[in-house]
Structure formats: structure tokens, C-alpha cells
Structure 1
């Protein structure tokens, strides 16, 4: 080999290594994951997986970042700001319908905890009492199930924006607010409104028991790096199993994350959240849902309801929506 050819090949190899270097950190392959809300027990399994080395054991150097009312995790994934994001299934279906090629890597939360909470002193005692009332709702990323709910009831509401807290509801600025049973519902109770002063309406009681938090990536990542996606999913599930077995350790990590982010949090509320989200991740009700897996039945049921109510226009094949299906495509 001539010296010139050797020098040219060495330069090419050096350039290639420079390009690949950012993909691997000291602890393994660098991966970013956006969790769709602020630090709280809803994401305990991720914190555990990072802290206890469940990701590192799989050759991953995972960076966890948080979304929130003003930071859309679906948008961050679409633009390439992050490699993976958590999203509700309904949100992911809406994004697919808009042309964003999302793929479900793991279905973490198998059951719905969405609820609308009405004020008894405003005579909101049934869902139809919400007609024409002021109701605070989260934005675009979380609205699909509520749109279907109002369509089933054939009512419209005076919707106002709800951000990170339920203060507007607590101060009487709205007649009802949206909530997660494991989060805002308990926060309302902690703030001093007793159960006989509020009326919860669970969306699952109206046929809208949609799976919620799932882990998603773009189809390009799923097809290019299926093992990476599986390792993220497996490490996260191991974190959730640890949180289920050792909730006090998991809560310590949750409180530390909230404190580091400057997010007000109290341990009893985080304990309530963890206690009530775990059964939705590991259901023990005789159903067909396996931890971490999105079932075809749940996918089609959710998609058909959204299509029926005009929230999405078409339903993609189940195989094109899941990691197992996409990674089998030649």
C-alpha cells in the first residue's frame, strides 16, 4: 500500500470515528428520553433504572429530560430534540394521523386514570351538568380523550387552559377541571376540598379506558436500532419492577428529582401517586395486557373510538405502530 493511500484511509477512519464519538458516552451509547411532565412519581421507574444502573448494564448512557405544559414531548421527538419520549396512546395516534412516524417501544401504563372533577357547589353532579360550563383542560397533547368524552355526551364546554396546577379550580375560577386520579385528584383533596365537595367522572366508565404512558421513538430509530429500543424498554421495565418491590427507595429518588428541578412536591402525595399508578402498569385483573406490551385489541379499540369521533382520520396497521412489527420489516 502506498503512503498516500494509507494516509487517505487513516484520514477517512478518523473522520468516521469523530462522527460516531457523540453516540457513545463514558457509560455507553448516549440516549435522551423526554418524560412528558414535570418530575414526579409517574416516572419513578425511569429514575430507578438510571440510578440503579439498569440502563448502564445494557450499555446505555441515558439522559432524562422533562416536558410539561409548555414543553411538548411529541414535538421534541418529532424534531429530533430527543431520541425517545413518553406519550399517551391517544396522543401518539393523533400524531401518527398528522404524519409523524411514531413507533411504540413499550406500553407502560395499561389503564386510564383520566378524570374530570366537578364542584358540588356549582351543582356539577353528573357529566351532562358540564354542558356550557367553564372547564379547565390541558392542551393539545392530552386533549383527545376529553374530546371523545364530550362527543359521547353530545355536549360542549367553555374550555380554558389548565397548566401545571389546579389552582384555578381550587379558587372557583372554573366549574370543573381535568385530572389524573393518581395526581391532581389527590392534590385537590390535599388542598382542602373533601370528597363530598367534588364529583369525579372517570373517562374509563364511559368506554374510554385508553392505555396511557407509552415509550415512543421515530420509525427511523426503530428500524435502524431495534436493539437500542429494546434495551431502553427492558431497562425501564426493570426500573418499574424495582419500584414496585421497593417503593420507599423509589420515592427517595422521586423526591430528589423534584427538589433538583425546583418542583414543589410532598412525599405523601408522591406515595399516593406511586401506589395508584403501579396497578395500571402491572394490572392484576385477569386481562390480556402484559407489562410493557401494547396489545392489538387495546390499540384497535382506542384508534376506532378516536376515528369514530372524528379525532383521527385513519388507522395505521398495528404492525407499523409497534417495535416488534417495525423491526421485522426487511
Structure 2
């Protein structure tokens, strides 16, 4: 019996010295929306084993129209979320202590499009029109833009009527709205497929107008940053994710295939996901996940001007993760 116990102890000690013998750090990532190429970097990092290389066990949760990432992480359902900064700061202002740890998306993909029949060719044509806007945290850039232009959004004379838009182009096709919101990498592609384009659309690009607010960033809860082990895991996560983004943008066909394979609903179509990867590549900087402070300041100012947040936030971002990557 003594010999058997000694042998077991020796075997256990030998196993403990092997690389990878210890459990990988488990992290759960909550996406802002359904499984699609908007999140290609994370899906590719998982599929190609980049998280495994960083000794991470990552669970990726898809989002959807009834899922608010801010609520998920506040309830303990995720360690990291992907969300737009306006939604993140608004949540922080109401007591959810979110902190931005990285910002792969450097530019906005948000646009508003108006078909020729709407007779909208410039902002001055908006009064009296119905404009489609997404909510659940996506509405803040629109309201910031209207506030900047001095246009009321309550349907009053001289203002616009806001339609809570579905996440497709149907409100435009069905004539429910004169103009609708689209993302360059998603719904605009649907509009192109439906026969719309620059020749029969007026396009208001938020970035080109200087109205872009920061979109997909990575956020964690503030108190988790007090744990050095968590910070180390976040750092490895961001490093592997950026490797995933770099691979996805360099290999769009494979990235699109990975997205389709990762979608458990079967809704993702290869051609559309390939289109999305191409458009997302114009927004993501795979070499630099650091937060751009000029765009951050513009986002904060727009939210304060709208009274979405009460004051300049403190502690809403940290560079501890991105600094460690250099």
C-alpha cells in the first residue's frame, strides 16, 4: 500500500510540472449582438486556438435584441462585454461600474440612409420626417447628432418623429420611415442587395460628419481590476483577440467561414459575412487596441450635452491592459 501511495504522489507531482497541467483561466465574453462578423476577431481567436495559447478558457455568448450586455455583466453573467461606449458610460452613470480596457474599433460604422422618394438630401430636410433609430443603447449617437443640429426629436413642429426601428431595412422598404439607421458592415449591405445604393440614396455617415461616437469596445467591472490575476487574464485575452482580428482581416474568406460555423442558429450566410468582414476591416485597427482619447472626449461631451450622463466620468477607462501589451 505504501508503495502504491508513493507512486501516486510521484505521478501527481510529475503531472503538475507538465506545461498546461493547471486549469486555464476561464473568462466569459458577452457579445453586443448575434454571432456575426462584427465579432470576427473573437470568434477567429477561439477557432484558431489563440486563446488556448494564452492559457485561457473563453466562453463566447451571443447577444440579441433582448440582451443588454451591461445588464449581463452587472448580474455576474460575463467577465467582459462588447458594447458601444455611449451605452457603457450611460450604464456607469446609473451605477454599473463599467471600465473600458481596450478599443479595437476606432471608427464608427453607423449611417443614416434616405431613399430618393423621401426627398431628403440634407439635414435641413429632416424636420417633419420620420427617422428610424435603434434603441437599447444604440440611440445615443443619433440623439447627439440631432442635439448638435438643434432639431427636436419629439415629433413637434420643426422636429422629427423617431421610429423605434427593427434591426433590418424593412421600415424603409415598407415606408414606415423616411430614413433609417444602418451599419456599414450589415444593414447597408442589405440595402445594396435590395437595389439601393448611392445613386438612389442620400447617405449621412456619422464618421464623415464628425458625429461618430466610439462603438465596439471591451468593458469589465471596475472592482475586478483590483485583482492582479484578473488584469493579467484580461491582458492575455486582449492580446489573443487582437491576434484574432489581425488573422481575420488578413484572411477574410476563412474568417467568414469561421463566423458561419460559430453561429449555432444557422442564420449567418457566408456571402453576407464575407461582406461584413470587408467592411469591419475599415473600422478596426488590429495593431492598436488602445483607446483614442480625442474620440473618447467627443463621446463624453456629446453624452453630457444630451444629459445622458450627468458629468465627466471618472475611472471609466484604464490603459493598464493595453500598456502591458507594448
* TM-score range for the pair, normalised by the shorter chain length: 0.7 to 0.9
**1:313 and 1:105 mapped to 2: Cα distance?**
22
What's the offset of the Cα at 1:140? 2.8
Quote the Cα distance in structure 1 between the aligned partners of 2:308 and 2:279: 29
Separation (CA, whole Å) in 2 of partners of 1:323 and 1:66 = 26
Instruction: Report the equivalent of 2:266.
Output: 262
Q: How far off its partner does 1:305 sit?
A: 2.5
Unaligned runs of 5+ in 2: 1-20, 154-159
Shift of 1:310: 2.3
**Partner residue of 2:253?**
248
Q: Residue 14 of structure 2 aligns with which residue?
A: none
Is the 8 Å Cα contact of residues 103 and 222 (structure 1) preserved in structure 2? Answer: no
Which of 223-232 and 128-137 deviates more?
A: 128-137
TM (norm. structure 1) is 0.83
- State the SS of the aligned residue for 1:81: coil
What is the alpha-carbon root mean square deviation over aligned residues? 2.3
Whole-Å Cα distance in 1 between the matches of residues 22 and 274 of structure 2? 34
Which whole-Å CA distance do the structure 1 matches of 2:104 and 2:321 have between them? 18
1:313 partnered with 2:316: no
Residue from 31, 43, 46 that aligns with 1:47: 43
- Secondary structure (helix, strand or coil) at the match of 1:30 reads strand
TM-score (norm 2): 0.84
Alpha-carbon contact 1:136-1:161 (below 8 Å) kept: yes
Between 1:115-124 and 1:127-136, the stretch displaced more is: 127-136
Q: Distance in 1 between matches of 2:23 and 2:178?
A: 50
Deviation at 1:42, TM superposition (A): 0.7
State the secondary structure of the residue aligned to 2:199.
helix
Partner of 2:16: none
**More off after superposition, 25-34 vs 172-181:** 25-34
CA 230–210 in structure 1, closer or farther in 2 if over 3 Å, else same: same
Whether 1:166 aligns to 2:169 is: yes
Find the counterpart in structure 2 of residue 14 from structure 1: none
Asked if the contact 2:290–2:322 (Cα under 8 Å) also holds between the matched residues in 1, the reply is: no
2:125 is the alignment partner of 1:120:
no
Flag the 1:214–1:326 CA change in 2: closer, same or farther, 3 A.
closer
1:121/1:27 CA distance change after superposition, 3 Å:
farther
Paired position in structure 1 for 2:225: 222
Matched pairs, number: 295
**Contact 2:290–2:319 under 8 Å retained in 1:** no
1:63 maps to which residue?
A: 59
Which of residues 97, 102, 119 in structure 1 aligns to 2:98?
A: 102
* CA–CA distance in structure 1, aligned partners of residues 121 and 219 of structure 2: 37
Find the partner of 1:37 among 10, 33, 46: 33
Per-residue CA deviations over 1:161-207 (Å, capped at 9, x if unaligned) read: 22332212222221111111121112111122243222111112332
Distance verdict in 2 for CA 1:327–1:83, change over 3 Å: farther
Cα distance in 2, alignment partners of residues 27 and 261 from structure 1: 30
Moved over 3 A (4+): 325-328
In 2, the alpha carbon distance for the partners of 1:136 and 1:279 equals 25
Alignment of 1:209 with 2:212, yes or no, is: yes
- The answer to whether the Cα contact below 8 Å between 1:219 and 1:326 also exists between their aligned partners in 2 is no
Q: Choose 218-227 or 203-212, whichever is displaced more.
A: 203-212
Task: Tell me how far apart the structure 2 counterparts of residues 27 and 278 of structure 1 sit (CA, whole Å).
Answer: 34
Which runs of no fewer than 5 residues in structure 1 stay unpaired? 1-24, 284-289
Aligned to 2:242: 237
Paired position in structure 2 for 1:111:
107
Pairing partner for 2:320 from 306, 324, 328: 324
